[in-house]
Structure 1
Amino acid sequence: MQIPLQISFEHIKPVDYIAIRVRDEAKKLEQFYDRITSARIVIGRPQHRHRHGDCYSIRLLITVPGANDIAVSREPSVTGRHEDINVTISDAFAAARRQLQDLTRKRQA
């Protein structure tokens, strides 16, 4: 990446293991597609539920030269699946990888 990875936290204190996990996933994504210019990741906890655990959201904005930005959002209001931050991170980066695969196929055609 030409611009260093930017990780932000909303409504949650920065947590080292989350940042490390996001950096690892970003490295895997960059190994898959090495033309990524920049990536911004925002991790949030939009609501605090005392009885059922916390839900996490993640937003990715990835810039690739010569193409539209790749935007991925995983919000807990859409699916009830994101109570575990690791699941949220995995889902978001898998979606970004699929979008990069689509971009690669379009460029090869």
Structure 2
Amino acid sequence: MFKLCVFVPVSHVEQVKQALFAAGAGRLGDYDCCSWQVLGTGQFRPLDGSQPFLGQTGVVEQVEEYRVEMICAANCIEAAIAALREFHPYEEPAFDVWRLEAALMQGSLRA
């Protein structure tokens, strides 16, 4: 099991979430379309050779983005990342993937 976290501009958050759900991410037991999101401000500067969706080469850009998190089973993480890259508007989407401990997910460890 993995946890996927991606930063998405407000204009595309639902599109990206739906693509991730369709790829199998966001499933937990008898539930699907599970995610968590919070609005924040992202910052970046496009460098020479980039083709930015937002902003101008060489200029620092700040944009409202959602941080979207969801879990994803190992058998669909590659499909989820492919969907993220296909439906995210940025040339280089910012995301990370964390491996979750199976024992914790199954509730076998006690605090």
Q: TM-score, normalised by structure 1?
A: 0.34
Structure richer in strand, relative to its length: 2
Structure richer in helix, relative to its length: 1
Structure with higher RCO (Cα < 8 A, 6+ apart): 2
